[in-house]
């Protein structure tokens, strides 16, 4: 069988091109390509070389339109046993090609050429072409034999012209030779034999038949020569005769041959015409051809020789002729039947050629999978030959099938993509799309694909192509590891290693092997290096750049395209960046990755390679880092991996596709899942841009970056050191707070930072910050009792946000917003760990009364200045200052807030209480300067409780008013008046304000050890304590009683030597009782006065009365006008010196509801009894 047969093959003149002398491969190919341009020589162009010696046998030669067809065969071929049967199989001309610079001796060239020509007995024209001869050779060549043609050195175009002329000359010579042959054949009648004609068949059985047969064969051969001479009409005439004779003699083989020739003549005659009738004719005749070849099959010599190859060739010729998509079915049938013949072919080479041709035709038809199938058959035949050249051929053939089996090397894909682009513009776009979807899931016909790759690997190893072997093994391992046994995987790993040993180091391969690499995450900048966009138009340039809340979408971000899938990332020149990638080795061997680094095509990134070992069936997340080197966008398509001795690029996209397919169950296995790595959502590669250097502040807390451990309420000053670690000075900086518990930061020294700006690179500033620990809530308390770590993680600590930026470079052109260098944000978390401190148990209000002395003007009447009472004790100690006259009660009173505190910590606390007497706003004690009173410290040991007394200043409202009992009156509806509501409200507010005022002035500080100190928050405690007894504390009694000595002024002044308020025994002491009505209504009462001695005995009445009196003491009826006071005078005569106390009591008659409410009576009939405080009287004298 012959390759590349077609119907027209019969009309082609075979010319062997033989290299003579030394010719480099490339040069020879170059010369050969020049020949290829001249495969068709028009008859019209050769007439100048043609001389008609006698009448041409080709009577109908179309000199105007016809042409001679050449088929150049580089290197020639051995003579075929079938050349009598098909004259076109003969080598009719030999052209020697000589590269003169390498073959200086032209004689030896001619000698060698003549030797070569002897091998081609059928050659009718021989020429030797010498290219690029030197001058001496040119001169020399002129004299040498006529067969030598020298091509003077010239450019290619000239040489091709020259060559064309030479070939025209050859064509003319051939034509004349053909004429000679035809004459000879017609006259002499040569004996034409084929291997089919056995000795037996040409026996003397039927001599006449044999003669006719010989005649027919001669006619057929003449027809062949007519075809070669380019005269189809003549050929047709001879073929007709031959057909007739062959049919008569039942020479089916030659009949078929003649018929084939006639088809060729028909086609040549009607060149370019493609009408259906012609096609039908060709189809009809060829089916006859095939039939007759079949008929000529002689079983007895089938072992030796068979016309099968001609039948198959005829099949292929027809198939090639019909090879169009519309006729696909027909062609497929022809090719299928041709393929069926393959197993009957004796010669393996024939089978090879047959499969090659079938594959080619299927390829032409667009049946890629069929073509691939037969190509693989070809490759298998090559591989059976077991030599290197066959293996190379097998490798080449197999690599052509990779596209159909979707196991392409990536290199070929990238090459094909260009051609595809051109083709796809016409192609059905839907189909393209469909294919691209399928290509995502390549590993589908996995059995086939593995077989093909294994064969590629085998042939590459045999062919000695280590790169192809490496690539095939890599593809096999990467795509089909789940279907390969661990032993097979090890074998592949060894194949990879072996191949790489033969490869130069540092070679790249486009097909990645292992490991699988996927993007794990793009870590954003740590909060210490956060980059924010500058808004130069605003004073607070950092505002609006950072997301202001936990929401991905904020209604405040103006209508920017919300493209959240592609986030933007900013990298800075010179600052290292990190990317996390995950590697997986799903195979059963230890994988050594010599180096892996990010592959960046934009050229402005310096990746740092790392190397690692991946144990079998494992995955690992690693950090790959690098430094951006210049401004511009950066794209990171994947990683460059140096593994198994070859550098490959692993694209993230491929693995993403793979994982996507695995998720849908379309791909064999997920390499990461089978290594035990958890499922990861798709990470998209953000748009990365690199910006010029920015300043970089680095912070640490002076004295350690650990958590700041504080007890509740503790106040401490810490120092935060900020250093500029960048290469650009910090020009602007601003500090703000964020996070929870912001009020725990009492002060930040902004000025310290401001004064240091601009902060040069390397400079440092120390920033004092005052902190106060917050109060732990209930939840916090639980946490505090739990682990410390949890407390730390709890994001209840505030943080400092420091926005800073380098110098503003392009302030002048605001339109280019992108030109503004971004600022940065430093987040300094204040890791406060608040421990539970003193805990508050309960608060109580304590009060005590110290009776007042009865004196001339003590107590001062309430309508006098309130401050008078304090003047009296001004000279006393501070402690005494707390004891104050209750102006309403008229007695000394002392009130404390008792706080019970427990100390659950393991430290000792010291509590100090101070009251700030800032009473300018206090209506009851106005005119006072702000003073503070300190008291001795209270010490609370660990696990102990202690009570702390906090003195409360006396204060009461001046009037007992209905407003405080509003809610009590409401149900009655009688007294409550709506028009008074305003004043009532204001009175309530006044009450509240006064409570708050009181509380705010009390400060409870604690100290523990030397450093810790803080303040207790007792506001709530006091409020709770006051709530229950606020009324008693704040509201005045309805009546105020006071006793007074009545003396003339003179005697009082002269009696300086005596103690104040003292009374002599045995002396009539005139006194008066002052009753003040604190309500707005008239009160009628019945007043009683009693005097008791130290033992509490009533000493006015009874049998042993020690005090005599004049005036009325009991049942004194007094009407006290509203807010006025009434007096009642009486005199006492003390018989015994000593201490007495005077007590006034009043029974209020016709008590109003207001008074009842104040007295908290239950029934309206109950008498309202009002009792004043006791007043001391010291009676001096002798008994």
Partner 1 sequence: MATTACFIIVSRNDIPIYETDAGSATKREDASQMHQFILHAALDIVQDLAWTTSAMYLKAIDRFNDMVVSVYVTAGHTRFMLLHDSRNDDGIKSFFQEVHELYIKILLNPLYLPGSRITSSHFDTKVRALARKYL
Residues that bind partner 1 in the complex, under the rule CB under 8 A: 328-329, 332, 336, 339-340, 343, 362, 367-370, 372-374, 376, 405, 434, 437-438, 441, 444-445, 447-448, 451, 664-666
Q: Closer to partner 1 at the Cβ: 370 or 1076? A: 370
Q: Closer to partner 1 at the Cβ: 55 or 343? A: 343
Instruction: Give Cα 987 to chain centroid, integer Å.
Output: 64
Least Å distance between CB 826 and partner 1? 50
Least Å distance between CB 409 and partner 1? 20
Least Å distance between CB 451 and partner 1? 5
Q: Closer to partner 1 at the Cβ: 340 or 613? A: 340
Q: How many residues comprise the chain?
A: 1183
Q: What is the DSSP string of 929-986?
A: PP-EEE---EEE-TT-EEEEEEEE-----SS--GGGGHHHHHHH-SS--GGGHHHHHH
Q: Closer to partner 1 at the Cβ: 367 or 1006? A: 367
CA distance 1046 to 1048: 7
Q: What is the DSSP string of 812-849?
A: S-TT-GGGSPPEEEEEEE--EEEEP--EEEEEEEEEEE
Least Å distance between CB 357 and partner 1? 16
Strand order in the sheet with 605-608: 516-521, 577-585, 618-628, 605-608
Least Å distance between CB 554 and partner 1? 38
- For residue 463 the two structure tokens come to 């062919």
Beta carbons of 1144 and 1173 less than 8 angstroms apart: no
Q: Closer to partner 1 at the Cβ: 329 or 978? A: 329
Pairing status of strand 1062-1064 against strand 1175-1180? parallel
Q: Closer to partner 1 at the Cβ: 665 or 973? A: 665
Q: What is the DSSP string of 422-468?
A: HHHTTS-HHHHHHHHHHHHT-TTSHHHHHHHHHHHHHHHHHHT-HHH
**1037: enclosing H helix or E strand:** none
Q: Mapped to the 3 state alphabet, what secondary structure does 177-222 carry?
A: HHHHHHHHHHHHCCCCCCCCCCCCCCCHHHHHHHHHHHHHHHHHHH
CA distance 281 to 133: 52
Q: Closer to partner 1 at the Cβ: 312 or 579? A: 312
Q: Closer to partner 1 at the Cβ: 664 or 977? A: 664
Contacts of residue 504, Cβ cutoff 8 Å, sequence gap at least 6: none
Q: What is the DSSP string of 279-300?
A: HHHHHHHHHHHHHHHHHT--GG
Radius of gyration in angstroms for the set of CA atoms belonging to the chain, rounded to a whole number: 60
Least Å distance between CB 388 and partner 1? 24
Least Å distance between CB 370 and partner 1? 5
Least Å distance between CB 279 and partner 1? 19
Q: Closer to partner 1 at the Cβ: 340 or 865? A: 340
Least Å distance between CB 410 and partner 1? 21
Q: Which of 837, 840, 851 is nearest to 1172 (CA)?
A: 851
Q: Closer to partner 1 at the Cβ: 355 or 1140? A: 355
Q: List phi, psi (to 5°) of 230.
A: 85, 25
In the block, residue with structure tokens 């069988």:
1
Least Å distance between CB 369 and partner 1? 5
Beta carbons of 96 and 119 less than 8 angstroms apart: no
Least Å distance between CB 394 and partner 1? 16
Least Å distance between CB 376 and partner 1? 7
Q: Closer to partner 1 at the Cβ: 336 or 1129? A: 336
Least Å distance between CB 304 and partner 1? 24
Q: Closer to partner 1 at the Cβ: 444 or 1098? A: 444
Q: Closer to partner 1 at the Cβ: 427 or 1082? A: 427
**Which residues are paired to 902 by β-bridges?**
839, 945
Least Å distance between CB 373 and partner 1? 4
The DSSP output letter for 696 is -
- For residue 738 the two structure tokens come to 């964020």
Least Å distance between CB 448 and partner 1? 5
Least Å distance between CB 665 and partner 1? 5
Q: Which of 93, 482, 86, 487 is nearest to 314 (CA)?
A: 86
CA distance 1083 to 1085: 6
Q: Closer to partner 1 at the Cβ: 367 or 909? A: 367
- For residue 671 the two structure tokens come to 């390499």
- For residue 142 the two structure tokens come to 């002129």
Least Å distance between CB 434 and partner 1? 7
Q: Closer to partner 1 at the Cβ: 368 or 595? A: 368
- For residue 121 the two structure tokens come to 């007995």
Q: What is the dihedral of CA 308, 310, 314, 315, to 10 degrees?
A: 30
CA distance 325 to 366: 8
Q: Closer to partner 1 at the Cβ: 338 or 469? A: 338
Least Å distance between CB 413 and partner 1? 18
Q: Closer to partner 1 at the Cβ: 454 or 870? A: 454
Beta carbons of 620 and 610 less than 8 angstroms apart: no
Q: Closer to partner 1 at the Cβ: 185 or 666? A: 666
CA distance 909 to 940: 5
Contacts of residue 101, Cβ cutoff 8 Å, sequence gap at least 6: 132, 134
Contacts of residue 1087, Cβ cutoff 8 Å, sequence gap at least 6: 1073, 1075, 1115, 1116, 1117, 1118, 1128, 1144, 1145, 1146
């Amino acid at each position: 069988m012959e390759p590349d047969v077609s119907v027209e093959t019969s009309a082609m003149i075979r010319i062997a091109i033989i290299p003579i002398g030394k010719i480099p491969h490339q040069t020879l190919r170059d010369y050969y390509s020049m020949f290829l341009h001249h495969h068709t020589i028009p008859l019209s162009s050769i007439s100048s070389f043609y001389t008609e010696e006698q009448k041409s046998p080709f009577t109908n030669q179309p000199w105007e339109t016809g042409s001679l067809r050449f088929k150049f065969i580089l290197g020639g071929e051995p003579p075929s046993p079938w050349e009598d049967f098909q004259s076109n199989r003969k080598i009719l001309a030999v052209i020697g090609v000589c590269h003169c610079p390498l073959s200086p001796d032209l004689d030896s060239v001619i000698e060698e050429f003549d030797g070569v020509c002897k091998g081609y007995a059928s050659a009718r024209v021989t020429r030797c072409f010498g290219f690029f001869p030197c001058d001496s050779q040119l001169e020399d060549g002129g004299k040498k034999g006529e067969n030598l043609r020298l091509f003077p050195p010239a450019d290619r175009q000239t040489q091709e012209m020259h060559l064309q002329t030479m070939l025209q000359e050859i064509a003319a010579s051939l034509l004349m030779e053909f004429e000679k042959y035809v004459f000879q054949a017609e006259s002499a009648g040569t004996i034409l034999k084929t291997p089919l004609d056995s000795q037996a068949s040409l026996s003397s059985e039927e001599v006449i038949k044999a003669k006719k047969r010989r005649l027919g064969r001669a006619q057929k051969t003449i027809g062949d020569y007519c075809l070669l001479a380019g005269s189809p009409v003549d050929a047709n005439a001879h073929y007709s005769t031959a057909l007739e004779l062959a049919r008569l003699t039942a020479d089916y083989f030659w009949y078929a041959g003649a018929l084939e020739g006639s088809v060729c003549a028909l086609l040549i005659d009607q060149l370019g015409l493609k009408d259906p009738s012609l096609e039908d004719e060709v189809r009809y005749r060829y089916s006859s051809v095939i039939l007759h070849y079949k008929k000529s099959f002689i079983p007895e010599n089938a072992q030796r020789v068979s016309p099968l190859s001609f039948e198959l060739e005829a099949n292929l010729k027809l198939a090639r002729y019909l090879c169009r998509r519309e006729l696909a079915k027909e062609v497929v049938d022809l090719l299928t039947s041709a393929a069926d013949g393959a197993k009957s072919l004796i010669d393996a080479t024939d089978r090879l050629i047959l499969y090659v041709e079938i594959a080619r035709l299927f390829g032409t038809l667009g049946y890629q999978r069929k073509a691939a199938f037969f190509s693989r058959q070809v490759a298998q035949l090559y591989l059976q030959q077991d030599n290197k050249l066959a293996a190379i051929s097998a490798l080449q053939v197999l690599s052509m099938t990779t596209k159909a089996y979707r196991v392409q090397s990536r290199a070929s894909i990238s090459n094909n993509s260009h051609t595809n682009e051109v083709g796809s513009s016409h192609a059905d776009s839907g189909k393209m799309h469909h294919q691209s979807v399928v290509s995502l899931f390549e590993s589908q016909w996995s059995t086939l694909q593995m077989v093909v790759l294994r064969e590629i690997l085998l042939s590459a190893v045999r062919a000695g192509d280590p790169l192809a072997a490496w690539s095939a093994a890599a593809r096999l391992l990467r795509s089909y590891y789940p279907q390969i046994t661990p032993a097979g995987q090890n074998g592949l790993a060894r194949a990879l290693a072996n191949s790489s040993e033969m490869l130069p180091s540092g070679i790249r391969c486009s097909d990645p092997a292992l490991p699988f690499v996927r993007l794990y995450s793009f870590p954003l900048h740590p909060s210490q290096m956060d980059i924010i966009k500058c808004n130069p138009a605003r004073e607070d340039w950092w505002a609006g750049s950072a997301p202001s809340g936990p929401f991905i979408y904020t209604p405040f971000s103006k209508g920017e395209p919300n493209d959240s899938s592609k986030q933007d990332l900013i990298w800075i020149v010179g600052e290292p960046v990190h990317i996390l990638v995950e590697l997986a080795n799903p195979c059963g061997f230890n994988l050594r990755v010599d180096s892996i680094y990010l592959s960046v095509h934009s050229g402005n990134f310096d990746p740092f390679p790392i190397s690692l070992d991946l144990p079998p069936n494992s995955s690992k997340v690693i950090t790959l880092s690098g430094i951006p080197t210049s401004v511009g966008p950066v794209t990171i398509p994947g990683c460059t991996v140096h593994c198994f001795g070859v550098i490959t690029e692993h694209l993230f996209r491929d693995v993403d596709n793979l994982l996507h397919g695995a998720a849908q169950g379309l791909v064999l296995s997920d390499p990461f899942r089978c290594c035990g790595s958890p499922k990861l959502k798709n990470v998209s590669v953000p748009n990365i841009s690199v910006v010029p250097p920015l300043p970089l502040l680095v912070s640490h807390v002076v004295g350690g970056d650990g958590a700041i451990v504080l007890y509740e309420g503790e106040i401490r000053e810490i120092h935060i050191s900020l250093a500029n670690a960048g290469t650009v000075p910090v020009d602007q900086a601003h500090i703000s707070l964020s996070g929870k518990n912001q009020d725990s930061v009492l002060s930040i020294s902004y000025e310290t930072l401001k004064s240091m700006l601009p902060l040069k690179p390397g400079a440092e500033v120390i920033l004092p910050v005052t902190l106060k620990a917050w109060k732990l809530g209930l939840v916090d308390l639980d946490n505090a009792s739990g682990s410390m770590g949890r407390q730390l993680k709890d994001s209840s600590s505030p943080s400092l946000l420091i926005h800073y930026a380098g110098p503003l470079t392009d302030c002048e052109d605001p339109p280019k917003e992108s030109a503004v260098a971004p600022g940065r944000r430093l987040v300094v978390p204040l890791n406060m760990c608040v421990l539970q401190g003193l805990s508050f148990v309960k608060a109580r209000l304590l009060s005590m009364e110290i009776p007042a002395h009865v004196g001339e003007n003590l107590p001062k009447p309430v309508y006098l200045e309130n401050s008078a009472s304090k003047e009296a004790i001004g000279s006393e100690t501070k402690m005494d200052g707390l004891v104050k006259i209750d102006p309403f009660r008229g007695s000394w009173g002392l009130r404390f807030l008792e706080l019970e505190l427990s100390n659950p910590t393991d430290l000792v606390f010291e509590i100090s209480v101070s009251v700030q007497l800032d009473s300018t706003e206090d209506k009851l004690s106005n005119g006072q300067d702000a003073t503070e009173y300190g008291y001795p410290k209270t010490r609370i040991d660990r696990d102990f409780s202690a009570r702390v007394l906090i003195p409360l200043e006396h204060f009461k409202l001046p009037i007992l008013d209905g407003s405080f009992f509003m809610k009590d009156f409401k149900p009655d509806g009688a007294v409550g008046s709506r028009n008074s509501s305003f004043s009532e409200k204001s009175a309530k507010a006044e009450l509240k304000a006064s409570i708050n005022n009181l509380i705010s002035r009390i400060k409870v500080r604690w100290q523990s050890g030397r450093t810790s100190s803080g303040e207790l928050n007792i506001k709530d405690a006091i409020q709770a304590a006051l709530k229950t007894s606020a009324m008693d504390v704040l509201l005045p009694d309805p009546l105020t009683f006071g006793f007074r000595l009545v003396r003339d002024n003179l005697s009082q002044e002269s009696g300086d030597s005596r103690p104040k308020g003292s009374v002599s025994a045995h002396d009539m002491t005139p006194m008066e009782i002052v009753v003040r009505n604190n309500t707005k209504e008239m009160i009628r009462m019945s007043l009683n006065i009693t005097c008791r001695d130290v033992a509490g005995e009533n000493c006015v009445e009874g049998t042993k009365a020690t005090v005599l009196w004049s005036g009325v003491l009991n049942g004194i009826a007094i009407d006290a006008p509203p807010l006025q006071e009434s007096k009642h005078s009486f005199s006492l005569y003390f018989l015994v010196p000593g201490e007495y106390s005077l007590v006034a009591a009043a029974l209020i008659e016709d008590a109003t509801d207001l008074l009842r409410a104040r007295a908290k009576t239950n029934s309206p009939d109950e008498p309202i009894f009002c009792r004043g405080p006791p007043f001391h009287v010291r009676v001096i004298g002798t008994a």
